[in-house]
Amino acid sequence: MVLGVSMVIVKIMGMVYKILLARVLDGVGNGIFNIAYELYTPLFMLATAGFPIAISRMVSESVVQGRYRDVRKLHRISIPIFICTGMVCFLLMLIGGNFYADLVESAESKLAIFMLSPMILFGCLMAIYRGYYEGLRNMVPTAVSEIIEASGKLLLGLSLAYLVSYFGTQEYQTSGTLFGQAIADEEAFYTQLMSYTVAAAILGIAIGAFCGFLYLLLRHKLKGDGIRRVQLVHAPPSRPAKSITRQLITTAFPIGLGAIIMSISGTIDSTLVQLRILDIMESQPDLLQSYFNFVDPSYFLPNADGNFKIQTFLFGSYGYSLTLMMLITAVTQVFGTSALPSITAAWTARNKKRIRRSIETVLRTTTLVTLPAGFGMSVLAWPITNLVYGNGNNSAEVQIASTVLQIMGISVIFIATSTPVCSMLQAVGRVDLPLKLLTIGMVIKIILNYTLVGIPSVNIQGAAVGSLVGYLFVLVMGIYFLCKETKVIPNFVTVFIKPLLATLLCAVTAILSYNLIVLAIPTKIATILAILLAVVIYVIALFLLRAITKDDMNMLPKGKKIVKTLEKHHLIR
């Protein structure tokens, strides 16, 4: 529950950060930002390589068995591993950043990549403690460190970005230079300013990550891990370090490889999408421009280096929809993280009743979030995108992102639900299955993206279709294997059917109410009112359909009191 609340806070802060940053960056700036992250993500996954999840699982398993000395030894063993992998991947990003930026013809991304590279090392250092405490079922360290990290991003990242943008613009208007550099023309100034602004925003993120690590380190030194001396005294002797290390690596390897494959597929995706847009620019530039006649025509013209900006602009606009989508996936990731220790403990104890209850609760809670969020984003794609990003100067980006979001809204249901499903497979010991499923799913996604994005009439929307089909496969097969491995078949009526019925009513309410309200009041206010009305109808429908259980409500603050009130009115079973 603590981790869930903190994640909501972190995601709200992240959304505020993105919204305010969009006031400074346009499609090109957002493209630079996303390009840097597309390189960072797979390298960070490579650096951690599934170790946090493996540590969480092994710690939880050892606690159930009373092997507290193994828990302590596991923590000591993990520290040099994380430091080593973090340093190697930090250097890889630092050295390989120029090559990647040249590959996607985005030289302006080099500085952002440079600034982001230390995040790999800081992230690895934080992962040492997060996985350990999550295995001990103490979510407070992870929660607080994430809030500290998000605060640094919001306060420092935004402040630095605004300062660089403001002073850079002032200097150019006064002297025609940008931070002491002579600038050839206004277009060159604009591109260089975006490069510096994004780098400044990322620098704030890196500082926030360092502060998050500092908190975890000091907390561990001052408060310890909560394991009492009497527990250590009565615990059996710890296993040899070699045995623990071998188990850690064999557990982490398939988990990490699956995460790496997902991240690499994202990087390949990013590269292919931009290269396929460039392919269209070489073969049918006029046709592509006709589909985007509302975009600045200069983006379709080569600059002094012979490079286009349209691919970066479209990818940056596509990134707006990804940011909205990731808000949902981050919430369901918490469900998976929280479920891992409890399901591991139930599986270790061979408590089938507890396993069933845990699986049903995680799946139902996930669908209660993903279904209305996904359908809502799809039916209110333009109003939501305009509400979050619209500032009067980026109508082209909003239009492109909203078109993508219509498809991505459905995709996010499968993407976000597959995350906790994969976590549950890992919890019951099948750490290999998510790797296999994700590999096949990502191959499907990449093939579809390459094919569809290269069609001028489909272009950037093809990336959303690829995600939808790829993750649909992962989710369906993941649930199949989860049922097969646990010998548990969840109640699909309460887990999927009832939330879906309530969601359809919610989606219809959202689009109809928006179309009526917008006739009388401004679009942004109409969007907020339509969303609020849809949420009210959705909650009422859930209670009327008896789609929410006591276990679901007990996950909320003051859950027991809420349950008693609802039971009095026969609204919960």
- With 80 as the cut, is the pLDDT of residue 345 above it? no
Domain co-membership, 142 together with 191: yes
pLDDT band at 341 (very low <50, low <70, confident <90, very high): low
* Residue 292 located in a structural domain: no
Q: Tell me what the mean pLDDT of segment 220-234 comes to.
A: 85
Q: Tell me what the mean pLDDT of segment 391-408 comes to.
A: 83
For the entire predicted model, the pTM comes to 0.71
Q: Three-state SS across 83-129?
A: HHHHHHHHHHHHHHHHHHHHHCCCHHHHHHHHHHCHHHHHHHHHHHH
* Residue 115 located in a structural domain: yes
Q: Which of 79, 230, 70, 80 is nearest to 135 (CA)?
A: 70
Q: Tell me what the mean pLDDT of segment 446-467 comes to.
A: 88
Per-residue pLDDT of 85-117, as tens digits, reads 889 889 999 888 888 888 877 788 888 999 999
Q: Tell me what the mean pLDDT of segment 331-356 comes to.
A: 73
Q: Tell me what the mean pLDDT of segment 164-184 comes to.
A: 82
Amino acid in position 123? G
Q: Which of 472, 490, 508 is the last residue of a domain?
A: 490
* Residue 300 located in a structural domain: no
Q: Which of 455, 472, 490 is the last residue of a domain?
A: 490
Helix axes 432-453, 461-486, angle to 10 degrees: 160
Domain co-membership, 482 together with 502: no
Supply the pLDDT for residue 535: 93
3-class DSSP assignment, residue 302? coil
Between the CA of residue 551 and those of 4, 73, 357, 547, 567, what are the distances in Å? 15, 35, 9, 12, 13
Domain co-membership, 372 together with 414: yes
Domain co-membership, 151 together with 208: yes
Which position has the token pair 């500032």?
Answer: 391
Q: Tell me what the mean pLDDT of segment 169-198 comes to.
A: 81
- With 60 as the cut, is the pLDDT of residue 65 above it? yes
* Residue 291 located in a structural domain: no
- With 70 as the cut, is the pLDDT of residue 3 above it? no
3-class DSSP assignment, residue 60? helix
* Residue 373 located in a structural domain: yes
Domain co-membership, 548 together with 422: no
Domain co-membership, 503 together with 380: no
Q: Which of 490, 510, 534 is the last residue of a domain?
A: 490
The helix or strand, by DSSP H or E, that contains position 2, with its residue range, turns out to be helix 2-22
48-52, 58-62, 338-342 — which is least confidently predicted?
338-342
pLDDT band at 66 (very low <50, low <70, confident <90, very high): confident
Domain co-membership, 515 together with 477: no
* Residue 299 located in a structural domain: no
* Residue 96 located in a structural domain: yes
Q: Tell me what the mean pLDDT of segment 371-381 comes to.
A: 93
Between the CA of residue 508 and those of 376, 409, 468, 514, 530, what are the distances in Å? 9, 15, 22, 10, 10
Domain of residue 381: give its range.
2-283+307-490
Supply the pLDDT for residue 356: 85
* Residue 288 located in a structural domain: no
**Within a 10 A sphere around the Cβ of 370, how many other Cβ atoms?**
26
Domain co-membership, 117 together with 264: yes
- With 70 as the cut, is the pLDDT of residue 394 above it? no
pLDDT band at 301 (very low <50, low <70, confident <90, very high): confident
Q: Which of 13-27, 245-259, 315-329, 508-522 has the highest mean pLDDT?
A: 508-522
Supply the pLDDT for residue 2: 58
Decide if 123 contacts 44 (C-beta within 8 A). yes
DSSP state at residue 67: -
147-156, 290-299, 390-399, 495-504 — which is least confidently predicted?
390-399
Q: Tell me what the mean pLDDT of segment 181-197 comes to.
A: 81
Q: Which of 363, 463, 495, 470 is nearest to 417 (CA)?
A: 363
Mean pLDDT of the chain: 84
Domain co-membership, 470 together with 564: no
Domain co-membership, 459 together with 500: no
pLDDT band at 411 (very low <50, low <70, confident <90, very high): very high
Domain co-membership, 388 together with 535: no
Decide if 370 contacts 417 (C-beta within 8 A). yes
Count the domains in the chain: 2
187-191, 416-420, 479-483 — which is least confidently predicted?
187-191
**Greater pLDDT, 154 or 312:** 154
User: Phi and psi (nearest 5°) for 415?
Assistant: -65, -50
Domain co-membership, 435 together with 466: yes
pLDDT band at 556 (very low <50, low <70, confident <90, very high): low
Q: Tell me what the mean pLDDT of segment 431-456 comes to.
A: 88
DSSP string over 152-206:
HIIIIIHHHHHHHHHHHHHHHHHHSEETTEE-SSHHHHHHHHHHHHHHHHHHHHH
Q: Tell me what the mean pLDDT of segment 532-546 comes to.
A: 91
Decide if 367 contacts 492 (C-beta within 8 A). no
